[in-house]
Structure 1
Amino acid sequence: MTTSHDPEREQFATTFQALGPQAPTILPGWDAADLLEHLSDRERDTPVVMAARLPGPLGRRAKTVREEQRARPWSERVERFRQGPGRSPVGAVDRLSGQGELLIHHEDLRRAQKDWEPRALSADQQAQAWRALTLLSRISVHVAADISLVSPRGGLQLRSRRSAGSLRVHGEALELLLWASGRDEVAQVRVHGDEGAIRALAEGRRGM
């Protein structure tokens, strides 16, 4: 049996296995099983998901396949995720983007649990979080303010064409990544800014 040899995926799979399918996430209406299914759909099962929306025999067969996948034992579904996306182009996208989707969704699960604590990331995981932030923040942050993201790894400037002021957001790279994705309830950051920028932040949008 092959594995992905990706530390973030390995840790995520271990968290899935330890918490079980009914564990809550911070995503409204989603438990761990819903999150794992989302990742499976994204990485391996996109054709099946699309086919399930079609009428006729093809759609019915695809729905049957999805039901069979959902009926598999939890440990088997987690192991399938642990092995990675196979030949799916998603794997290449994740490597280029710093594993942003996995990092964010892992915290969606971890930080919904009672007494969660920030985890210590390896140097490689910290670099992945920073790379993900530099790429994803530019398409996920829609705020009419000039924003400075400040972390121990450096700073990142997000300029607005119609700036109402300036903001500074301080935190570790992973925390800034969570903030940029709109996860204010769990992102451990410090936000400073003038009145216009703070108002623009409240009126703006973050997330994909």
Structure 2
Amino acid sequence: MTNHARRERALLADLLLAEGPDAPTLCEGWTTRDLAAHLVVRERRPDASAGVMIKPLAGYAEKVRLARAALPYERLVAELRTPPSWGPLTNPVVDPLANTLEFFIHHEDVRRAGPSWEPRALPPDFEATIWRNVKLIARVSLRRLGVAATVAPTGLPPVSFGSPEQVRIAGPAGELAVFFFGRQRAARVTVEGDPAVVERLRTAKLGV
């Protein structure tokens, strides 16, 4: 079985080196150096990474991230490329669950921040893996917004979330992942239905 998390990690590390430390990303206000530091802290400093979800710890988390970002860029990317073998997010059991979408999305954050890009052709098994995870995020996001939608991944059965249907969101699983992780403007999907709901979805804060 392909370890998609490991492959996306390697591709992202290669791209970060190619782009250099000051390239833009889709993460607002973050350069490639900032993004690399975030990912390294997430895996190597669980005391600080909790600040992503726990607001009172956000200041501490940012302090730790900035300290990591001050390292030489090549060292930072090397730490990202070769994570702890038995870390809480990087051990062989958890790695595919915790990191497949994390690295796919952040890989696209760097790819799509430039002036020209095209969606990647992903292997069918990777599309299926992405879709299994995106379904959960889509359900939570749509329920939070009070939107009833059918989500139709290319080549896979569509899923309805609520009724009656207000909108239909369609595209490859990878593009749906980009959409539901809050990068709607960079996602090649179609959103059809009630115009007001379509606009609300395209501008809402989606993701976790």
In structure 2, what is the Cα distance between the partners aligned to 1:70 and 1:170?
Answer: 37
Q: CA deviation at 1:197?
A: 3.7
Q: CA deviation at 1:136?
A: 2.5
Q: Which structure has greater helix proportion?
A: 2
| Cα-to-partner distance string for 1:131-157 (whole Å, 9 max, x where unaligned) | 221232223443322211112241343
Q: TM-score, structure 1 length as denominator?
A: 0.77
Partner of 1:56: none
Q: TM-score, structure 2 length as denominator?
A: 0.77
| Cα-to-partner distance string for 1:91-149 (whole Å, 9 max, x where unaligned) | 34451267111111111111001212222223343233222212322234433222111
Q: Which sits farther off after the overlay, 85-94 or 187-196?
A: 85-94
Structure 2 stretches lacking a partner, 5+ long: 52-56
Q: CA deviation at 1:66?
A: 6.7
Partner of 1:181: 181
Q: Which sits farther off after the overlay, 21-30 or 38-47?
A: 38-47
Partner of 1:145: 147
Identity, in percent, stands at 34
Aligned length: 193
RMSD of aligned C-alpha atoms?
A: 3.1
Q: CA deviation at 1:182?
A: 1.9
SS of alignment partner, residue 186 of structure 2: coil
Aligned-partner residue type, residue 103 of structure 2 = L
Change (3 A) 1:30 1:151: same
Partner of 1:39: 39
* 1:144/1:197 contact within 8 Å kept: no
Q: From the CA coordinates, give the structure whose radius of gyration is larger.
A: 1
Change (3 A) 1:179 1:65: closer
Within 5 Å, give how 1:32-71 maps onto structure 2: 32-47=32-47, 67=67, 69-71=68-70
